[in-house]
Structure 1
Amino acid sequence: MLPASARLRKSSDISAVMKSGTRFSAKLVVLHVAHGSSEQSKVAFAVGKNVGNSVIRHRVTRQLRHAISPLLPALPSGSHIVVRALPGAGTASFSQLSENLNFVLAKANKS
Structure 2
Amino acid sequence: MLPARHRLRESADFSVAVRGPRAGTRLIVVHANTTDARAGLPPRVGFVVSKAVGGAVVRNRTKRVLRHLMTARTALLPQGADIVVRANPAAAGADAATLAADLDRALPTVLRRLKARA
Q: TM-score, normalised by structure 2?
A: 0.89
Provide the rounded CA distance (Å) in 1 between the counterparts of 2:10 and 2:111: 25
Provide the rounded CA distance (Å) in 1 between the counterparts of 2:108 and 2:20: 16
Instruction: Report 1:29-68 matches (<5 A).
Output: 29-37=28-36, 39-68=41-70
**Deviations for 1:78-109, whole angstroms, at most 9, x for unmatched residues?**
10000000000001111111111111012123
Matched pairs, number: 110
1:22 matches 2:24: no
CA root-mean-square deviation: 1.0
Indicate the SS of the match to 1:30.
strand
Q: Quote the residue 1:80 is aligned against.
A: 82
User: Retained in 1: the 8 A contact 2:31–2:110?
Assistant: no
Structure 1 unaligned residues grouped into runs of 5+? none
Structure 2 unaligned residues grouped into runs of 5+? 114-118
Q: Quote the residue 1:10 is aligned against.
A: 10
Q: TM-score, normalised by structure 1?
A: 0.94
Provide the rounded CA distance (Å) in 2 between the counterparts of 1:58 and 1:109: 26
Q: Quote the residue 2:116 is aligned against.
A: none
Provide the rounded CA distance (Å) in 2 between the counterparts of 1:10 and 1:46: 13
**Deviations for 1:41-87, whole angstroms, at most 9, x for unmatched residues?**
00000000000000000000000001111110111111000000000
Provide the rounded CA distance (Å) in 2 between the counterparts of 1:108 and 1:76: 12
TM-superposed CA distance for 1:110, in Å, is 2.9
Provide the rounded CA distance (Å) in 2 between the counterparts of 1:108 and 1:62: 22
